[in-house]
Amino acid sequence: MDLIRKMENVSVLGAAGKMGSGILVLLSFEMAKLKLGKKEDKEFVLNAIDVSQSALTNLLAYVKSQLLKHAEKNIVELRTWYQDREDLIDNEEIINQFADDVMAMIQTSTRIETAYDSQLIFEAIKEDKALKVKLFSQIKQNNPNAWFLTNTSSIPIGGIEKEAGLTGDIIGYHFYNPPVIQKLLEIIKTDNTSDDLAAFSVSLAKSMRKIVVQSRDVAGFIGNGHFMRDALYALNLAEELAKTEGWAKAFFLVDTISRDLLVRPMGIFQLLDYVGIDVTRFILDSMQPSFPNESLSHTALNKMLDNEVKGGQFADGSQKDGIFKYQKGRIKEVYDIELGKYSKTENVEMDCAAFMGELPILKVYWKSVVRDPNKADHLQKFFNELHQLDSVGANLAIAYGENSKAIGQMLVDTKVAESKEDVNTVLETGFFHAYGPINDYF
């Protein structure tokens, strides 16, 4: 199989989006390796396709900034790539030339027809199965040899394959946000995915220096399979607590417990805000048909969306108002679904602390343990202490941790994940957890 031929003309659908732009940048690095590093005497084209022309213009500025960063970091190697260019002497000249050379391979387009010339189609449009099927089948009819790599995080790929008539030519290629930085890549084969495509996908991922975890083609895969159920558990718990404490306190309590007592990088509701309440519901909706015996929805999400409480991020990466309002990334206000308004967290903080009761004296924070070589020891001591307490907070935390573990185990039992290590890798790398859900702490 000629990998280089496959890389000669590549399209990214939804290239101006958060995920698409990152995938485009990663692919541009790969093309640069071939064209500039290995001096392949071919024309390489990377099509950035999106519906919005203005978004594509902004995209180019983003790509340029990423190329410069990449070049700065890899200047030692780049100097060897440009060894024969006697006119390029300073690092700065080489870095700028690299960015120009790579930018010259990128073409923007708002027309899907552009993808008819591509051997590889990377897709990162919104999570809308019908739309994906429509675009894929249109491309396939005009470009029968194309391979499709979809970034869907939740829609079963076999279904898309069947409806779009792509037999064997599609694979799940699920990056984590932001793709340029996040190391994890979930690869999902359908029952038919060709061996060539599967092998290509893995070797490309390796070249991109990603950590690959293979997931079975079950809606949500491993990452969202755990995250969505974890979030639903948290919403149910909050709903229960809201009955006596009100929603503001309930949200704040569960978020605090999931962050501080489970030693996670952020609380579960802050994570929902980060992902977006709307995106969360979208993912749940797309997973639901595959799990008829499970209820993958929550009235709290619907109520918030009805009230325009959406979360997600602005273009500059700052957080929009969601379950919480933020100032410089810190939680300042919390939403009350019943009252339909936000209240200051300082008004609920004391009450929440009193409600939780006794907490471990030993303080272990995610930030301080996550890179500590003695991480396991610290966590063990912390969770031991948590188990010995009989406070409301400790009990809720333990139940939360046990549920998270059960979700992880279910993913292994139903063969979505090949092993518990794979589940833990996804949570540790994709979600930055300090420890995997399948552990002996709970």
For other proteins, the closer of residues 75 and 198 by Cβ is 75
Binding part of the chain for other proteins, among 42-50, 86-94, 162-170, 402-410 by CB under 8 A, reads: 86-94
Q: Is residue 402 near other proteins by the rule CB under 8 A?
A: no
SS (H, E, C) the chain: CCHHHHHHEEEEECCCCHHHHHHHHHHHHHHHHHHHHCCCCCCCEEEEECCCHHHHHHHHHHHHHHHHHHHHHCHHHHHHHCCCCCCCCCHHHHHHHHHHHHHCCEEEECCHHHHHHCCEEEECCCCCHHHHHHHHHHHHHHCCCCEEEECCCCCCHHHHHHHHCCCCCEEEEEECCCCCCCCEEEEEECCCCCHHHHHHHHHHHHHCCCEEEEECCCCCCCHHHHHHHHHHHHHHHHHHHHHHHCHHHHHHHHHHHHHHHCCCCCCHHHHHHHHCHHHHHHHHHHHHHHCCCCCCCCHHHHHHHHCCCCCCECCCCCECCCCEEEECCEEEEEEECCCCEEEEHHHHHHHHHHHHCCCCCCCCCHHHHCCCCCHHHHHHHHHHHHHHCCCHHHHHHHHHHHHHHHHHHHHHHCCCECCHHHHHHHHHHHCCCCCCCCCCCC
CB of 108 to other proteins, least distance (A): 29
| Binding to other proteins in span 244-303, by CB under 8 A | none
How far is the CA of 261 from the CAs of 143, 192, 379, 398, 400, in angstroms? 53, 43, 10, 9, 10
Binding part of the chain for other proteins, among 90-98, 111-119, 170-178, 270-278 by CB under 8 A, reads: 90-98
CB of 68 to other proteins, least distance (A): 10
CB of 368 to other proteins, least distance (A): 15
CB of 304 to other proteins, least distance (A): 35
- Which positions from 95 to 114 touch other proteins by CB under 8 A, shown as an x/- string? x-------------------
| Binding to other proteins in span 42-81, by CB under 8 A | 72-73, 75-79
Whether 427 and 438 have beta carbons less than 8 Å apart is answered as: no
CB of 147 to other proteins, least distance (A): 31
For other proteins, the closer of residues 83 and 388 by Cβ is 83
CB of 95 to other proteins, least distance (A): 7
CB of 431 to other proteins, least distance (A): 27
For other proteins, the closer of residues 2 and 87 by Cβ is 87
For other proteins, the closer of residues 81 and 252 by Cβ is 81
Q: Which of 90, 308, 316, 390 is in the footprint of other proteins by CB under 8 A?
A: 90
Binding-site size for other proteins (CB under 8 A) equals: 13
CB of 92 to other proteins, least distance (A): 5
CB of 301 to other proteins, least distance (A): 37
Whether 406 and 233 have beta carbons less than 8 Å apart is answered as: no
For other proteins, the closer of residues 90 and 390 by Cβ is 90
For other proteins, the closer of residues 2 and 90 by Cβ is 90
Q: Which of 2, 41, 86, 346 is in the footprint of other proteins by CB under 8 A?
A: 86
* Residues found near other proteins in the complex (CB under 8 A): 72-73, 75-79, 86, 89-92, 95
